[in-house]
């Protein structure tokens, strides 16, 4: 396959399209070498734009966090009822479950027995 001629022709066309003319190249070189010119207007506005964008992002994040906390507080109703009677605390859930927290019950004396075996 002999596509060498086609590649060279394509390369020449691309290079010709991308090469600047002599006047444009001279203008770029002159601007680069001239160090006493003031900075462009856009370069001076860039820090202002950056600060404004940062402030806007901070405001948006703050409002989002505030709304999220407010929505979380509004949608979480108290689902547990805690009541205390003496040394016993009773916790009741909305679905009917109940937990009793307190000291352990006293040990009953009854229910013990002895087995006697004759020898």
pLDDT digits (tens, 9 = 90+) for 20-63: 888 888 888 888 888 766 656 655 667 888 889 999 999 999 99
17 assigned to some structural domain: yes
Q: Are the C-beta atoms of residues 102 and 89 closer than 8 Å to each other? A: yes
Is 92 in a helix, a strand, or coil?
Answer: strand
pTM (two decimals): 0.29
Estimate to the nearest angstrom the gap between the alpha carbon of 80 and the chain centroid. 31
Q: Are the C-beta atoms of residues 88 and 102 closer than 8 Å to each other? A: yes
86 assigned to some structural domain: no
Domain count, the chain: 1
Write out the residue range of the structural domain in which residue 13 sits: 4-75
Q: Does pLDDT of 4 surpass 70?
A: no
Is 98 in a helix, a strand, or coil?
Answer: strand
Going across the sheet that includes 98-101, the strands are 80-85, 88-93, 98-101
């Amino acid at each position: 396959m002999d596509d060498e001629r086609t590649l060279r022709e394509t390369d020449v066309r691309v290079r010709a399209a991308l090469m600047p003319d002599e006047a444009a190249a001279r203008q770029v070189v002159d601007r680069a070498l001239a160090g006493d010119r003031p900075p462009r207007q856009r370069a001076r506005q860039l820090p202002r734009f950056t600060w404004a964008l940062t402030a806007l992002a901070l405001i948006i994040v703050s409002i989002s966090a505030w709304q999220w906390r407010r929505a979380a507080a509004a949608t979480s109703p108290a689902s547990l009822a805690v009541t205390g009677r003496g040394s016993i605390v009773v916790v009741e859930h909305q679905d009917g479950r109940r937990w009793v927290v307190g000291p352990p019950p006293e040990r009953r004396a009854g229910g013990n027995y002895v087995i006697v075996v004759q020898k």
